[in-house]
Amino acid sequence: MRSCCVLLLCVAVVALAVPEGVRPEGHRTQLLPCCMVRYSTPIKVCAVLGVSFNRMTGYHDYGGFFIQAEPGFGGGKLNVGYRFGACHFMPIWNVGLSGSLMQTWGDPLQDVEAGQTYAGLELSAAFSVIGINGGVFTHMAGDDEEHDWIYSLGVGVGF
C-alpha cells in the first residue's frame, strides 16, 4: 500500500509540474533519444538510455515527457517525467522532474545495502552535453531498516 501511495504522489507531482501552454496546436512533436554516462549515488557508474517525446513550443523551445532506464554497477533506476528546454540541432539546455524507481544491487554507495527498492522524485538539468541530477528517495522494499530516506546526486556526459 505504501508503494502505491508514494508512486501516485510522484506521478501527481510530475503532472502538476507541466507548465501551462506547452501544447500549442499546429506545432510538431519530436522523438529525441537520450544517451548518457553518469556517476551518481548510490548506483555508481551507469548508462542512461531513454527517449523524450518533445512538443516544439516555439522556434527553439520544447517541452515533453520522457522515460529513461539507468542500469549501473551498484543498482538501477527507471525515470518517468517531464522536461522543457531549448534546442537547435541538438538540445542546448533542459530541466526536468521525474518520478523514479530505484533498485540496488552489487556494492552501492552511501552504506546502502544491495537488494533494496526505493521510490522518489528527481530533478535533472543539462547544458550542452553535461548533465546533473539530484533526488530524494524513500525505502519501499528490502531489509535495510537504517535507510528510510536516501538522496541521489550525479553528474554525467551525453545527450
pLDDT in tens, 37-96: 999 999 999 999 999 998 888 778 889 999 999 999 999 999 999 999 988 777 789 999
pTM of the entire structure? 0.79
pLDDT value at residue 27: 58
> Do 108 and 95 form a contact (C-beta atoms < 8 A)?
no
Q: What is the pLDDT of residue 145?
A: 79
**Each residue's pLDDT tens digit, 111-126:** 889 999 999 999 999 9
Per-residue pLDDT reduced to its tens digit, 123-139: 999 998 999 999 999 99
Q: Environment class of residue 143 by beta-carbon count within 10 Å: exposed (0-12), middle (13-18) or buried (19+)?
A: exposed
| Res 62: pLDDT | 87
Kindly indicate the confidence band of residue 141, based on its pLDDT and cuts at 50, 70 and 90. very high
Q: What are the residues facing 83 on neighbouring strands?
A: 64, 96
Which pLDDT does position 24 carry in this prediction?
A: 46
Helix/strand/coil for 98: strand
- The pLDDT score that the predictor gives to residue 22 is 47
- Distance between CA atoms of 118 and 149, rounded to whole angstroms? 8
